[in-house]
Chain A
Amino acid sequence: MNIVVAMKQIPDLQQIRISNRRPVLQDVPLTFGGIDKSALEAAVVLKESLGEVKVWVLSAGSEELEDTVKEALAAGGDEAYLVIDQSLAGADSSIIAQVLAAGIKQLNDVDLILFGEGSGDNYSGQVGARVARLLELPLVSYARDIKIDGDTAQVVRVLEDCEEVLEVKLPAVITVLSDIGEPRIPSVTQILKAGKKPKQTAELDDLGISAGQSNPVITLSNLAPESNRKRIVVKNPVELVEKLKSENLIGG
């Protein structure tokens, strides 16, 4: 069985500083999105329970991917398929979906394709659905649990006020919630061996996609929310408690 986990390379959100309400991205290390890491964890858990499973890590982006993918290979990915082109950093969802779908076609006998429900940076949540459409595969979104039985996946899908239990024939695309599994912390040995795992790289030309097709997303404004201090002055603890109650910060 082949499980493909699509992962997006993004700046490490823990290390972004804010200056004048704008994120400073310079020198911020790259990593994969948190929900993508949960998707990988789900694939690795399936592998551990089913046995004969190969977990592919699929990603498209800038050349730094060659290093970033080591994180996914350390966390349980068996082999990587990377599409590398500078124009893919910041490309819009439709192009990324075309590239990933073309990449998946290069891999044989793919049974299950996992995505995080949204990326860690733009969180558009479109790519999984677009890839399913391009590959003409069924899509199940917002999964918090996946069980495989033969050629069928049983998926628990979380909606706003209920959970659905669905069955879907494989191959299929499933987008997962972070609740599906906390990413494991790789050991030192797994980290050091990640770079030695097999890895295939392709360029856009190899997939018959023109670099000119890539439309970068232009960010017009990306400002951190302003927080205005209320500057409430109190004279004693009783007054403090009253103010906190009036601000609904403590119970009445």
Chain B
Amino acid sequence: MKYTEEHEWLRVEDDVVVVGITDHAAEQLGDLVFVELPEEGRMVVKDEEVVVIESVKAASDIMAPVDGEIVEVNEALVDNPALVNEDATGNGWFFKMKLEDLSVLDDMMDEDAYIKFIG
């Protein structure tokens, strides 16, 4: 699993990358009450806002961690945003991306680096 400074995790499954937010991020956000997902097939660039989430506290955006195509979104979150709080790194995933080149993940933090990053 790889991590970004925006508290997203990325996991390679076959030829796609699954993206979600970390347990740490989910805890900081509080209970999620609303998730708006991007269209499948949308081409996105790194740092583009692709998901809107609202917690009991506030609204936030989730940005594309890398360039690529959104190939699948987790529709279950629309009816049950709490999945993110219950299982942020499993059933609480947000979207899957197809990348030109998986090597962009090599420079990202691994778990040890991320744990150090959040202190």
Q: Answer whether A and B are interacting partners.
A: no
